[in-house]
A and B are shown apart, each in its own frame.
Chain A
Amino acid sequence: MLNRREFIATVSAAGAASLGIADDTNGNLSEVVAVRNGTPVEMFRKGIASLGGMKAFVKPGQRVVVKPNAAWDRTPEEAANTNPDLVGEIVRQALEAGATQVLVFDHTCNSERNAYARSGIEAAVKGAGGKMISGADEADYVERDCSKAIRLKHAKIHKAILEADVFINVPVLKNHGGTKMTSAMKNSMGWIWDRQYMHKNDLPQCIADLILYRKPDLNVVDAYRIMISNGPRGISKADVRMPKYQLLSKDIVAIDAQALKLLRYRPEDIHYLQKGERLGLGNASESKIRVTRIDA
C-alpha cells in the first residue's frame, strides 16, 4: 500500500520519465569504477583514467567546482572529512585539463576556519593551485525553485555550484546517525544554506530533492579511510577503518548503492537511495549497475 507521499513521488517520477526528463542512465547501465589498495592519489589516477581521463570531464576554459566533505574540525586520520591529498589531486588534474579556475568549498558544521585548516583541505587546494572559498556566507547562496522536488520545492544553493561548468562531488564514506550512511548523495547538504529545513521535512526525501537542483558531473567517493560508527563526526580513531578503496561514477545514486557495501549496509536502510532513483537521479538496483574493479 502506498502512502500519499510515495504515491505522488511514484507518479511524478513516472511522469518525468515519460516526458524524457529523467536521467539518461535510466534504462542504460550505470558505470561505477572501484579502485583499491593504493594511496588516494594513485587510486584516483587509475580510476579517472578508466573513465577517459580528466579531459573527458573538463574542457579547456571551463570553470570547475569541487565539493569535498570539509565540514568537521577533524584531522585526515579521523576520517570525518575527505582525504586532502585526493582533493588536491583532483584540483591539480582539473587545472591541467585546462580549467580557468577551480573553486573548492563546503558549508561546514564546525567553524569554517577550523574545519578548512584541520582537515588539511585548504592547504592541499592552495598547494594544487585551486581556490578555497567560503560556504559560511548566506549572501553567496542563491534562491532557486524546483517543481520536480517533492519536499524541497525552494532552496538556497551556493552560487559556486550553480555557476560552475563542471561540478565534481568528492565525499568521504561514513556512518551517519540520521541517514545511516553519508556518501555522495548526502554530501549535497554542504551546498545548501538551510539544512535545518531538510532535517525537519523528511531528510532522505530532501537529500534526493536537493540533487535535482544540480547534479554533479563526476562523483568520487573517498573510502581510503572510512568511519564505521559514531558518524558523521566520530568520537575517536576506534571509529575508523582503512579499507583503501575509492569509487568513481557519473551516477550519484549508483555510486552510493555500491559504497554502502563497504559499510555492510542493506540498500533498503539507506532511504534516500530509492527516493533518488524514483526521481530519476540514477540507478540504485544492482542489475542496472556495472562495476569495473581495478587494483591500484
Chain B
Amino acid sequence: MLNNLDFIAIPADAEALRHRIKAFLASRLRDHSLDLRARSWQGFDADFSRSLGEAGFIGLTLPVEYGGHGLGSFARFVVLEELLAAGAPVAAHWIADRQSAPLLLRFGTEAQRCEHIPSICKGERFFAIGMSEPGAGSDLASVRSRATPLEDGGWRLDGSKIWTTNAHHAHFMIVLVRTSGAPEDRHRGLSQLIVDLSLPGITIRPIEDIAGDSHFCEVHFDGVDLPADSLVGTEGEGWKQVTAELALERSGPERIYSSLVLLDAWIDRLGGLEIGSAAIQAVGRLTAEVAVLRAMSISVTACLARGESPVTEASLVKDLGTRFEQEVPQAILALIDVLPEGRRDETFWRSLLYVTQVSPSFSLRGGTREILRGIIAKGAGLK
C-alpha cells in the first residue's frame, strides 16, 4: 500500500527557487521576534502576505492566466518549507493558497476563478474554510448548516460553523453545507458554497485560545442570501470535493515543521554547553526524525506532481509529522534543566510555552489522529 513512498531528490529547477525565498525572508523577517516566528503558520500578518504575493511566492502551482506562476509541486514545496523553517507569518494567505484556489481551479466556474484566484495570488484576498460545526467535528458528514435554494437561483444560508481559522480576518469562506436531504443522509446532499463574509446576517465571534491568541472563530449564518454563482462545483457533490481538498490540506510540510522554529532556538541555546547524553540523544533523535519526515513529505509531493491523490500516504505522513511536532516541546520540557538560567531568555520562554500549549491542536486540525489512523487502516483493507 505504501510503494509510492521512495526517496526522491527535489528536482534542480525547483531547488533554484530556494535562494530567492531565503533572501526574501532574511530581509523581511529581520525584526520578527522568536515568539512571533514560533507561531509558525498561525502567525497572521496581512502586510507580510501582500509582500510575499508581490514577490511572486503565492500561487506557485496555479496557472499564469489566473495570476499564478505555473510552477510544479516541488517548487511550491521548496518555498513552503523555507517559509515554515523561518517562522514566517503566513496565516493570512495560507488557506487560500493551499486549498481554496486549487479547489476553485478544479471545481469552480470560469467566473469564480477569475474573480478570486488572481487576488489570492497577490496575497490580498484571504479565505477561511467552514467545515466543523458545533455538532460536527470528526463526523463531518453530519453537518446541519443548510443552504436552501431560492427562486432566483440563489441560496439562503442558515447555521453555524466553529473552529474556523481566521474567519474574522478572511474576506471569503468556503462552507460545506447541506443543500438537500437531512442529516441522516450523511454525505449525500452536501455542497460547497462560497460566502462573502461582508454580507448581512453573518456574525463572527473569535474564540480566544489557550495561549491568548484569537485565530479560531465561531461563525453564525442567519438567513444569509447568497447569489446564484455561490455554488462551487456540483450540487450534492460536496463530500467528494472536500475529500480531494483534504488530501491537499494533509499532505504539506506544515504537518511536520510546526515546532521547527522552537527546536532550532533550543539547539542554538545549547551551543557550547557541556550537556549530558540525554540531551544530545534528544537532539539526534529529533534531527533524524525531521530528515525522515521531510523525505516522506517530498515523496507525497511527488505523488501530487504525478496528479495522484495520495489520501492514505498523506494521512500517514500527517500522523507521523504531528507526532514529531508534539514530541519537540515534550522533549524540551523533559530536558529543561539542561538549559542554564542565563539561556532562558524571555522570547525563548514564551515560544516554548506557546508551542507546548497549542501543540495538542497539531493532531486535531485537518483531521484528528484517530480519523487519520482509520483512513490508513481502511487503506490496508480493514473494514
Q: Do A and B bind each other?
A: no
Partner-A contacts on B (CB < 8 A): none
